[in-house]
Structure 1
Amino acid sequence: MKSTYLLALLAPFALSVPAGAAVTVTPFGPGGVPLPSLTGLSSVATFDSIPQTPYGDSVQTSPNPATFTDGGGSWSGSGIVMNNGGGGSLGLYAEPYNDTTNYMAVLSGQSETVVYGKTYSELGLYWGSIDTYNVLTLFNGANSVVVPIPPVANGDQFAGDSNRYFVISGFDFNKAVFSSNGNSFEFDNVAVGGVPEPSTWMMLMLGFGGLGYAGYCRAKAGSAAVSAG
């Protein structure tokens, strides 16, 4: 009975935690590649230390590795690290405007996944020539959310509005999947920051406290039964 009473006490706290807060996509820029420090993020994946797939190739080829670690995350999938070197897009991948360094390109029907060793509440990325067919999904265990496409998604390679640094918040995550239904999803300078909201930690602490108290009640009941016997 006591454990049931405790759960009743915890119920209002459970209801106070939003089931799915709205995801916010905040733009910085336009254009350029702003320093992640300006957005309060860290652990930046720049892809600059990762060998690129040869310019002109559309699939992952040597020396571009299928899996690697960059910016505090473990990357894997069929995305390719690319650097156009001043060349055109070839109808495959356009470098994010004013970005002459390595970047990640996810071609049509492909995907790239990054997994982090802890949970974050903010994801930043320099999103190049934003297209409506680019798909970014954040995961936290079995829960996931698809990030809304910014309204400036017109695929323009040279427009500041459609080549911007964005910070995504409103969903705690430890994995992100970048996929595309067309050529291509290009991005760079992926950074993470923040921690789960206090309400999330409150629920975890209350949950652990409830389990501990329930165990204590069971142990006490068992001891009373032994004494009575």
Structure 2
Amino acid sequence: MSNLVKKTKLVTLAALLAFGAASQAGAATISFGGQAATDGSGQTSSRIDASNQITAATVANGYFVETFDSATVFPVGAGGDTSYNVAGASDGCQINSPLAVTPSGAGVLNVRNNSVPNVAAAPAGDNTCYAYTTPENVGTDSSVDIDYTTFLANVGTIDASLAGSKINYLGFYWGSVDTYNSFEFYDGATLVASITGPQLLAQLNGSSGNQTSPASNTYVNIDFSDAEAFDNFKVISSGIAGEFDNVVVGLKQVPAPANLAFLGLGLLGLALGKRFKK
């Protein structure tokens, strides 16, 4: 085999590997804005029906929404978790999704359907149930871990076409954003993306704690690259309070790693070349 042929093969393999690595590269992108929800909950993701109802079509497209309202439970008639409801302020509220919800302490996570001064304010235009964090000690971070690992492991029982999927989109309605609020997104224990109150307020020119302005009450969209495997997120707050609603996840089938596929093709080419040389 000539040196020219050898060099050509090496260059081709290197190019394939480089292309494979590039196709896997990328980072989460964050954007703002959704659509007006028709169920009275303010804003929701533009990728689902404005009613926030989980239908067969919604599921087939790989989207699920948590509204914290029993009226939008899926499947219809399924039970929900009311352990975070507030006595006298949570009629019709519950956590519907099959999630592992772990607050950092007692009383850190609550679900309610009204606003109370110095306790929590519903996101602008939201007249339904919403979730919020309350710090154990003001000025000290408290958090709520929301884990989709079990959901992802069992989503194929809801729709077989979604088996083996991972989350490549998450959206949520963030209410009266404060400088002491933040969200972090993880692949297991590895941080893959985050957004803080100061970042959002600077981006939209909002004011901390404003309960009515669209610049301080907005729908946040986060798109994750194929190289990322987001499966849990954390809501963090050190003040009163961190409010959120209409949490939407979008699923995507996990593609075969391109770099490994191209490596296999390259090695196969080299092996065939050696065979023909013999």
Question: Under a length normalisation based on structure 1, what TM-score does the superposition of the two structures give?
Answer: 0.67
Offset at residue 25 of structure 1 (A): 2.1
Instruction: Determine which of 125, 128, 142 is the counterpart of 1:98.
Output: 125
Instruction: Determine which of 193, 197, 201 is the counterpart of 1:145.
Output: 193
Question: Under a length normalisation based on structure 2, what TM-score does the superposition of the two structures give?
Answer: 0.57
CA RMSD of aligned residues (A): 3.8
Q: Please identify, of 162-171 and 69-78, the stretch whose mean Cα deviation from structure 2 is larger.
A: 69-78
Offset at residue 147 of structure 1 (A): 2.3
Give me the whole-angstrom Cα distance separating, in 1, the residues matched to 2:238 and 2:111. Answer: 19
Q: How many residues align?
A: 199
1:82 aligns with 2:111: yes
Secondary structure of 2:19's match? helix
* Aligned residue identity for 1:94: A
| Contact 2:170 2:249 (C-alpha < 8 Å) held by counterparts | yes
Q: Report 1:116-195 matches (<5 A).
A: 116=148, 117=152, 118-141=165-188, 142-147=190-195, 149-151=199-201, 152-171=206-225, 172=228, 173-195=230-252
Instruction: Determine which of 106, 109, 113 is the counterpart of 2:145.
Output: 113
Give me the whole-angstrom Cα distance separating, in 2, the residues matched to 1:84 and 1:9. Answer: 56
Residue of structure 2 in register with 1:61 after alignment: none
Offset at residue 129 of structure 1 (A): 0.3
Secondary structure of 2:65's match? strand
1:48 aligns with 2:98: no
Secondary structure of 2:18's match? helix
Offset at residue 99 of structure 1 (A): 1.9
| Contact 2:180 2:238 (C-alpha < 8 Å) held by counterparts | yes
1:5-49 deviations in whole A, cap 9, x for unaligned? 79746531244146442522222358962354x324831111224
- Between the aligned residues of both structures, percent identity stands at 26
Give me the whole-angstrom Cα distance separating, in 1, the residues matched to 2:144 and 2:245. Answer: 13
Secondary structure of 1:201's match? coil
Give me the whole-angstrom Cα distance separating, in 2, the residues matched to 1:159 and 1:73. Answer: 31
Give me the whole-angstrom Cα distance separating, in 2, the residues matched to 1:150 and 1:160. Answer: 12
Residue of structure 2 in register with 1:13 after alignment: 19
Structure 1 portions without partners, runs of 5+: 58-63, 218-229
Offset at residue 69 of structure 1 (A): 6.3
Offset at residue 84 of structure 1 (A): 5.0
